[in-house]
Amino acid sequence: MDVTFRFLLLFVATFLVAGLVKGVTGMGLPTVVVGMLGSVVSPVTAAAMLVIPSLVTNVWQLLDGPSFGALLRRLWPMMLAILVGTVASTALLVEGDSRWSGIALGGALVTYAAYALLSPSTTVPPRWERPLSPLVGLVTGVVTGATGVFTIPAVPWLQSLRLPRDVLVQALGLAFTVSTVALAIGLGQQGEFRLGQLGWSTAGIVPALVGMALGQSVRSRISQRRFRQFFLAFLILLGLELAIRALL
């Protein structure tokens, strides 16, 4: 990879912004990293770079919550399915046509952002949760393996369970931690998590943590609803740009 000063600035800015978004909303680090770095490197390279910062910030988010044991007992079928689906489908990201990876990534970004922006009031009936959870996890795993983005459909599903706010943030941390570990395993099996990428991934920890700390501070000072609207609108534009560029 040709490393320039411009790329270094983009790299640091990407992880700062990604950490800031995660600090405010509890999610979005892989989406921002793959989206922004995906404009200058391949999706698989961007996915490899985000593994360690994503793991560190997600473990922080997972442990900083009230209900780890209860969540694990409730959500383990979904988490297991995410793990299996991601590892099994990472070859799509590695071996697939980068053009289609770009289209898939753009589509995932637009789908998630449009859903969240519309904020539909959906609630999963308790009797449906156990049979549908593994299916949601499997689809999330396939999307993660193919695009490096963890959000679809796990985030809308967890939101529809109507968990208390702190528990929801912790549940997102659990899902993202499992997705990150699974993506690392899948990339390793495909020979795409190399020493050089490990160095870049490690280098992203500090700006990601700085951004996350800033985001947690910002969260208490501004309207989270307004910030979320601007962020989701940005993701829609970014997703459209990635998909259109891949088609041209």
Q: pLDDT tier at 120 (50, 70, 90 boundaries)?
A: low
Q: What is the mean pLDDT of residues 211-216?
A: 89
pLDDT of residue 89: 92
Q: Is 74 exposed, middle or buried, given 0-12, 13-18 or 19+ CB atoms closer than 10 A? A: middle
**DSSP annotation string for 138-172:** HHHHHHHHHHS---TTHHHHHHHTT--HHHHHHHH
Question: Does the pLDDT value for residue 114 go beyond 60?
Answer: yes
Q: What is the mean pLDDT of residues 226-235?
A: 79
Structure tokens at 223: 């309207």
Q: pLDDT tier at 121 (50, 70, 90 boundaries)?
A: low
Beta strands in the chain (DSSP E): none
Query: Best-predicted range by mean pLDDT among 141-145, 215-219, 241-245?
Result: 141-145
Q: pLDDT tier at 188 (50, 70, 90 boundaries)?
A: confident
CB atoms within 10 A of CB 187: 24
Helix 205-219 vs helix 195-203: crossing angle, to nearest 10: 30
Question: Which residue did the predictor score with more confidence, 1 or 223?
Answer: 223
pLDDT of residue 179: 92
pLDDT of residue 77: 97
Q: How far apart are CA 39 and CA 153, in angstroms?
A: 24
pLDDT of residue 11: 94
Q: pLDDT tier at 187 (50, 70, 90 boundaries)?
A: confident
**DSSP annotation string for 93-122:** HHHS-HHHHHHHHHHHHHHHHHHHHH----
Half-sphere CA count of 98, side-chain side, radius 13 A: 12
Asked whether the beta carbons of 44 and 95 are under 8 A apart, the reply is no
**DSSP annotation string for 190-203:** TT-S-HHHHHHHHH
Asked whether the beta carbons of 200 and 10 are under 8 A apart, the reply is no
How confident is the model over 41-87, as pLDDT tens digits?
A: 877 788 788 889 989 999 988 987 788 999 999 999 999 999 999 99
- Of 14-23, 71-80, 160-169, which gets the smallest average pLDDT? 160-169
